[in-house]
Amino acid sequence: MTTDQHIALQDLDLFCRHAFLAVGADQATADAATRAMLHGTTFGVDSHGVRLLPHYLKALQGGRLNRSPLLQKVGGFGAVEVLDADNAQGAVGAYHGMDRAVELARQFGLGAVAIRNSSHFGPAGAYSLAAAQAGFIGISFCNSDSFVRLHDGAMRFHGTNPISVAVPVQGGDPWFLDMATSAIPYNRVQLYRSLEVRLPEAVASDAAGVDTTDPNAAEMLAPLGGEFGFKGAALAGVAEIFSAVLTGMKLSFDILPMGGPDFSTPRQMGAFVLALNPEAFLAPENFDAGMRRYLQVLRDSPARQDCRVMAPGDREWEISRIRAEKGVILDPVTAKEFRVLAETLGIAPLA
């Protein structure tokens, strides 16, 4: 494997599953974690794609993550459930939680699942999209360890605290939002370090809270919104309340750092997923007509010179089709780590 070689998505999928099983993770963990990472890589969210594999393996080997978790319902009533993920890799609890939310929404019109004792779950959009592909509106929240300053702040306060919403569209790709409430996710900083690319303006700060474009000097992320960063900080608070306060889990500034050095202690993170059944609100044909009309006018609306108006998710769907056909090129650091993993774990390397 060379650093400029396109790797087929199915080959990456198989490599990741084999790696998880090689460190003793159960099949459910291998399936869910790989599915979430491949979502990120497929849709061009490389910061939350397969580059996370070495991190997850280290957390499984160190004991932070349970290799064979036993997920249990521990609370809730009616359309609400509380799920204890037993310190599973984050995608395990999040996918299971959204599956339950969809089942509840079939019965009650909506389903809400609070997830306890989880961990980093990767791309929030993976779970919202799972609901949309089943015909439901999906919403996902998670907090993470502090890395984002407040507006005008000079300390790490919130995590990148993603919010995702996905909406089914009859005969088309779901409308699909997946956003960090920071200006960029921290994994983007790590990716830019690997690629030796400078950061955009006003997305990260040094230790004093002063903006920097040097990924190696970035000690904090800025909240979404630039001069209006108070809006991004407030949205981060929304994710914090749903995923930490409502689940009884740790707030961002109390969570152990994702990057260690402690890889043996569970991080006691929470997440929250919600599914809404459109048929509970109006006739399916009316919902479908409304979404199609909305997207048609949006995409046909006038654009600035040399620009194109797109709905949330349009760029990602285009990338997914290209990558499904051509594969992806791994960044140099990830390509090197995969070669080492193949050798140390005794699994077949990527061709």
Does residue 27 belong to any structural domain of this protein?
yes
319 lies in a domain?
no
CATH number, residue 221: 3.30.1370.60
Which pLDDT score, from 0 to 100, does residue 185 have?
79
Q: Is residue 224 part of a domain?
A: yes
- From CA 6, how far away is CA 90, in angstroms rounded? 28
User: What was the pLDDT predicted at 313?
Assistant: 97
Q: Is there a domain that residue 188 lies in?
A: yes
Is residue 226 included in any domain, yes or no? yes
What is the b/e burial string over 212-238, where b = at least 16 CB atoms within 10 angstroms of the residue's CB? beebeebbbbbbbbeeebeebbebbbe
Would you say residue 303 lies in a domain?
no
Host domain of residue 267: 6-290+327-345
**199 within a domain of the structure (yes/no):** yes
Please tell me the pTM assigned to this model. 0.94
pLDDT at position 184? 87
The tens place of each residue's pLDDT in the chain, 351 residues long, gives 555 789 999 999 999 999 999 999 999 999 999 999 999 999 999 989 999 999 999 999 999 999 999 999 999 999 999 999 999 999 999 999 999 999 999 999 999 999 999 999 999 999 999 999 999 999 999 999 999 999 999 999 999 999 999 999 999 999 999 999 999 878 788 888 888 999 999 999 999 989 999 999 999 999 999 889 999 999 999 999 999 999 999 999 999 999 999 999 999 999 999 999 999 999 999 999 999 999 999 999 999 999 999 999 999 999 999 999 999 999 999 999 999 999 999 999 997
Number of domains in the chain: 1
pLDDT at 186: 80
Residue 43 covered by a domain: yes
